Amino acid sequence: MVKRIFLVSFFLFSIFGFTSVWACTNFIITKGASSDRSVMITYAADSHTRYGALAFYPAADHKPGDLCEIYHYENGKMLGIIPEVPHTYSVIQFMNEYQVAIGETTFGGLDSLNRQPGAFLDYGSLMKIGLQRSKSAREMIKVITDLVEKYGYASGGESFSISDANEAWIMEIIGKGKYEKGAVWVARLIPDGYVSGHANQARITTFPFQKTNNWTDPKQTVYHSADVISFAKKYGFYKGTDESFSFSDVFNPLNFSGARFCDARVWSLFRRINKDIRENTDYKSYVQGLFLHNLVFLDGNKNPNGFVSNRLPLWVKPDSPLTLQQVKDAMRDHYEDTPLDMRNDPGAGPFKLPYRWRPMEFVVDSVIYLNERAVATQQTGYSFVAQSRSWLPDSFGGIFWFGVDDADGCVYAPMYCGITKVPESYAVGNGSMITWSETSAYWAFSMVNNWAYTRYNLIHPEIEKYQQQLENQFATEVNVVDKQALELLKLDPAKAREYVTSYSVFTGNKLVSDWKIFFQYLFMKYIDGNVKNSDGRKLLDNGNGKNIPKTPSQPGYGKDWERIMIQGTGERLVVPGK
């Protein structure tokens, strides 16, 4: 039996194992798809070892001979150095002072392409350096791909969301492994009025091949490496026609995990906003890992290579434009009211918990089972909604709505893109995954979230109510701050930047302080299986002025779970005579 379980576990790792490590989610909302005409991208950085903090890199001038040190995004190891450019722009986490933003999800792809001898530029370094050197999304794509061509690519396959105040792109890249230096890649402009997304499965399939990358042509909507198809043919990864070449199907072939653990998260947004996606049973089958290989795709195009024919489209048009709050709420999805809803099976426990502790897969009596992986997950280090607004000056047109820990229980705090420092409570170095800090945003939100996991259907509604109150408050405040910053800009641009910095810093630090008080309230109210009486977020006494609470309620486990509790106990728990 031990040998048999080992073999099953090895099979599980080879098929599904990457999802335990790579589990991020990006959504992309174009100008015409948002209710206020802003461009938005989202990112959930999920890892059991990633700490939620807000990095800041100030703008800087550099002398000839200055060098840029490259540190691995995941483990912090120094990898190499490259020459600096004369000037680098300021960056907060993954958005710069020109409203350019980037997010990523790792898809890995073909194993033979994941290790490139001599390369040291990993995807995280490319994201940071690209932001420091780019004033537009198109420029950032060029900066990243030029660097990869020169220095090689030291990561597995990646999908990037790249945006500015006017455009949003999806870019996918994979290294050339031991075969050649550099990478093959494709970038596509998301059509205005449409929404896209990616979640650890490559999403770009066929695309119109371009003779050249004209970076100054606003009408060019596709960029790619010149050899993206010829490389695949040269080394035997693809044998079909150029016209039917699919980047995703060749470099990251679909399997069960790619649909169920990855694309299903994209579907979670698409089905919210698009009726056709929501009602199409072929898409529901796809995200459950049930593939069709019809002669034509669902869009009517021919399928000569026999690829999966019922996969999700790269982008969809929403039934109505999305608000900023809808985008934030999409990051909090657990497949509610879908076939993948986790709230109603025994794994949810008596309190309807829409989470499953890891590992992603488990074996019972030699049968492999899975735990769902939704957009909102317990191991998120941080998430954001990067909002770029073309009607405002760059220094405060972009807002980096930033939240730490599980997105379901975070509050997205507004950080203006041009700020010159970040709140101390969110700053890198204030605590870590193995160092406690009383002023840390991450630990404040993690305390609340982990307490809520113990009785989710009782505690989380209180979190959601306060969360919405604060995010509505911030949205109102931002409108006022925008107007005041515009007035200050007329007098002194530095004063405008100082003003939005002060607002962002104050708001972030106060939020963390308020959230710690909120934890104290929740902890006192819900200890020992009881629920104390409260008014708003104030616990009530019994009216005698002695700080003695009213008799608390005791909701217990609920009838459905009580029936589960008595299964197999025979007469042992029966009270005689009743």
Q: Report yes or no on 411 lying in a domain.
A: no
Closest CA to 317 of 33, 25, 26, 27: 33
> Do 197 and 131 belong together in one domain?
yes
CA 38/CA 32 separation, integer angstroms: 8
Is the predicted pLDDT of residue 10 greater than 50, yes or no? no
Q: Domain check: are 132 and 9 in the same one?
A: yes
Question: Does 352 share its domain with 438?
Answer: no
Query: Could you list the residue range(s) of the whole structural domain that residue 492 is in?
Result: 426-526
Tell me, yes or no, whether 436 and 482 share the same domain.
yes
Is residue 195 one of the residues assigned to a domain? yes
Same domain, yes or no: 508 and 534: no
Q: Which of 119, 113, 144 is nearest to 131 (CA)?
A: 144
* Residue at a domain's end among 330, 354, 370: 370
pLDDT at residue 576 in the model: 93
Residue 66 lies in a domain: yes
- The Cα–Cα gap between 406 and 375 comes to 10
Does residue 73 form part of some domain?
A: yes
Looking at the structure, do residues 51 and 168 belong to the same domain, yes or no?
Answer: yes
pLDDT digits (tens, 9 = 90+) for 86-103: 999 999 999 999 999 999
Claim to verify: residue 317 and residue 461 sit in the same structural domain: no
| Amino acid at the residue 533 | N
462-503 per-position pLDDT tens digit: 999 999 999 999 999 999 999 999 999 999 999 999 999 999
Position 12 confidence tier, pLDDT thresholds 50, 70, 90 = very low
Q: Clarify whether residues 470 and 561 are in a common domain.
A: no
Residue ranges in 214-373 assigned as alpha helix (H): 228-234, 247-251, 256-257, 264-273, 275-279, 281-287, 324-330
Helices 137-151, 123-132: axis angle to 10 degrees equals 130
Q: Any idea which residue has 């033979």 for tokens?
A: 112
Location of structure tokens 């898809």: 107
The total of structural domains in the chain comes to 3
Query: Does residue 406 lie in a domain region?
Result: no
Tens-digit pLDDT profile for residues 150-163: 999 999 999 999 99
Considering only CA atoms, which of 305, 337, 301, 503 is closest in space to residue 418? 503
pLDDT at 21 over 50: no
Contact indicator for 409, 448 with CB cutoff of 8 Å: yes
Summarize pLDDT for 389-424 with one digit per residue, the tens: 999 999 999 999 999 999 999 999 999 999 999 999
Enclosing H/E stretch for 560: helix 559-565
pLDDT at 139 exceeding the cut of 50: yes
| Confidence (pLDDT) at 4 | 31
Instruction: Report how far residue 24's alpha carbon sits from residue 261's, in angstroms, rounded to the nearest whole number.
Output: 11
Residue 410, in any domain of the structure = no
The 10s digit of each residue's pLDDT in 218-253 is 999 999 999 999 999 999 999 999 999 999 999 999
Kindly report, residue by residue over 290-331, the tens digit of the pLDDT.
999 999 999 999 999 999 999 999 999 999 999 999 999 999
- Quickly list H helices, 152-251: 228-234, 247-251
**Would residue 416 count as lying in a domain?**
no
Q: What is the pLDDT of residues 536-556, one digit of tens each?
A: 999 999 999 999 999 999 999
Using CB atoms within 10 A of its CB, is residue 117 exposed (0-12), middle (13-18) or buried (19+)?
Answer: exposed
The answer on 548 and 518 residing in a single domain is no
Which residues are CB-contacts of 294 (< 8 A; sequence separation ≥ 6)? 303, 309, 310
pTM over 0.75: yes
Take residue 4 and report the two structure tokens written for it. Answer: 């048999």
Determine whether 258 is exposed, middle or buried from the number of CB atoms within 10 Å of its CB (0-12, 13-18, 19+).
buried
* 320 within domain boundaries: yes
Are both 55 and 113 inside the same structural domain? yes
pLDDT at residue 22 in the model: 59
If asked whether residues 98 and 66 sit together in one domain, one would say yes
Q: Say whether both 77 and 184 belong to one domain.
A: yes
